Amino acid sequence: MNIYVAHLSWGTEAEALQDLFAQFGEVSSANIITDRETGRSRGFGFVEMPNEEEAQKAIDALNGTEFDGRTINVSEARPREERPARGGNFGGGNRGGYDRRRY
């Protein structure tokens, strides 16, 4: 099961996240998502646990608890939604700057 962990401290490392979840069973991987440009944590990550029962126990036990000075949110990760390709003309140019994303 893939687990989403939100509101992580900027200083949390993947190893600490893995150790936290290992209390509940086997952890296949733990990743902190970082900003592409700065390399700094974006404050969330994912933990993969092969056993669904152990994963659910970890979610139930850790959601809303304090970790590294922050109250974390823990839930089953949802499949990534496809986002439209960036680009296109959303205002500017000769159309007076109307931005339909804001309305």
Quick: pLDDT tens for 8-49.
999 999 999 999 999 999 999 999 999 999 999 999 999 999
Quick: pLDDT tens for 39-83.
999 999 999 999 999 999 999 999 999 999 999 999 999 987 777
Task: Answer whether residue 87 is part of any domain.
Answer: no
Task: Answer whether residue 88 is part of any domain.
Answer: no
Task: Answer whether residue 44 is part of any domain.
Answer: yes
Residue 48: domain span: 2-76
Token duo for residue 52 = 């669904």
Task: Answer whether residue 34 is part of any domain.
Answer: yes
Global pTM reads 0.76
Task: Answer whether residue 9 is part of any domain.
Answer: yes
Cα–Cα separations (whole angstroms), residue 63 to 1, 24, 31, 46, 84: 16, 13, 17, 14, 31
Question: Is there a contact between 66 and 80 (Cβ–Cβ < 8 Å)?
Answer: no
Q: Mark out the alpha helices in the chain (DSSP H runs).
A: 14-22, 52-62
Task: Return the CATH number at 70.
Answer: 3.30.70.330
Indicate the number of domains in the chain.
1
Quote the radius of gyration of the chain (alpha carbons, Å): 18
Task: Answer whether residue 92 is part of any domain.
Answer: no
Task: Answer whether residue 84 is part of any domain.
Answer: no
Question: Is there a contact between 63 and 56 (Cβ–Cβ < 8 Å)?
Answer: no
Task: Answer whether residue 28 is part of any domain.
Answer: yes
